[in-house]
Amino acid sequence: MLQNADTDEIVISFRGTELPKTTATKVKEKYLGTPSQDAALLTGKAKLNPKDKTHMTPKINLQQLNKWLALLFSLS
C-alpha cells in the first residue's frame, strides 16, 4: 500500500509490483486511541504529530505489509 504525498491517493501494489524490500513510507492517520494505534506508539512503529497530537504517522514496512495483504487475501 502506497500513498501519493501530493494527492493523498492510496495505491495497493500486488506481487511483482513491490518496491525494494528496504523501502518504507509514511502515511498520516487520525489518532483515535485504538489499541493497535497505542501499540504502534508504544513500540516506536508510529509517532504523534507534535503540533496537535491528533494525527499519527505510522512507519510502514512495505515488505511486511505485502505479506499481511497476501495472507488476508488467501483467507478470503
Domain boundaries, the chain: 2-75
pLDDT at 3: 75
Cβ-based neighbours of 58, under 8 Å, separated by 6 or more = 26, 27, 29, 40, 45, 46
List pLDDT tens digits, range 5-61.
777 777 776 666 665 555 555 667 788 888 888 887 888 777 787 777 766 776 666
Helices and strands: H and E segment counts in the chain: 2, 6
CA gyration radius for the chain? 14
Q: What number of CA atoms fall less than 13 Å from residue 76's CA on the CB side?
A: 6
C-alpha cell at 70: 497476501
